[in-house]
Amino acid sequence: MRSTFPRCVIQKMPPYMSNILAAINSKSIYCSFCANVLLDHIGNMARIYGYNHLLQMYDSEETFVDHCIEIVVCHYIEKSLYSLDADKDRLLSRQEYYLMLKGCKDHSKIKNRKRRCDEMYLGKSSFPNELLRSFHELLVVVAHTFGFLPYKFDIIDD
């Protein structure tokens, strides 16, 4: 038995995580980059914190959804900075690139809030849809600002 099953911990998770965990489990997040970042992040949260602490960390599902989107965006920025650091022909310093990426993040966050407000009459969007749309908005802003994507990957996997 021990060699058949990998070591894992089963832990009760707070209700505000249910939709996100279900989306990861059902593979309805079509961006493998996003899904892997979230799986790693939530797994680390479960490993570090107990149920009672996790229960108190976020006051609503919407707050946790925003946090998850923020985690994916920050991870993309980190990967982009590593890619830009590896570029021997880069024109700017790491700090300047960081400030540009942070500006892209802030700009895309404003655009996403406006989109959510404009589409409020449609009701609550599913987490996979909201994540993909928000993350795509960041990529559009980064591509427009830089003229290219500093960190490239396939968004939709088959």
Looking at the whole model, is its pTM more than 0.75? Answer: yes
* Cα 22 from chain centre: 16
pLDDT at residue 116 in the model: 84
> How far apart are alpha carbons 156 and 158 in whole angstroms?
7
Give every CB contact of residue 23 below 8 A, 6+ residues apart in sequence: 29, 126, 127, 128
What backbone torsions phi and psi does residue 141 show, to the nearest 5 degrees? -65, -40
> How far apart are alpha carbons 130 and 66 in whole angstroms?
10
pLDDT at residue 2 in the model: 42
> How far apart are alpha carbons 21 and 19 in whole angstroms?
6
* Cα 27 from chain centre: 15
pLDDT digits (tens, 9 = 90+) for 33-88: 999 999 999 999 998 998 899 999 999 999 999 999 999 999 999 999 999 998 88
pLDDT higher than threshold 80 for residue 11: no
pLDDT digits (tens, 9 = 90+) for 92-126: 999 999 999 999 999 999 999 998 888 878 878 88
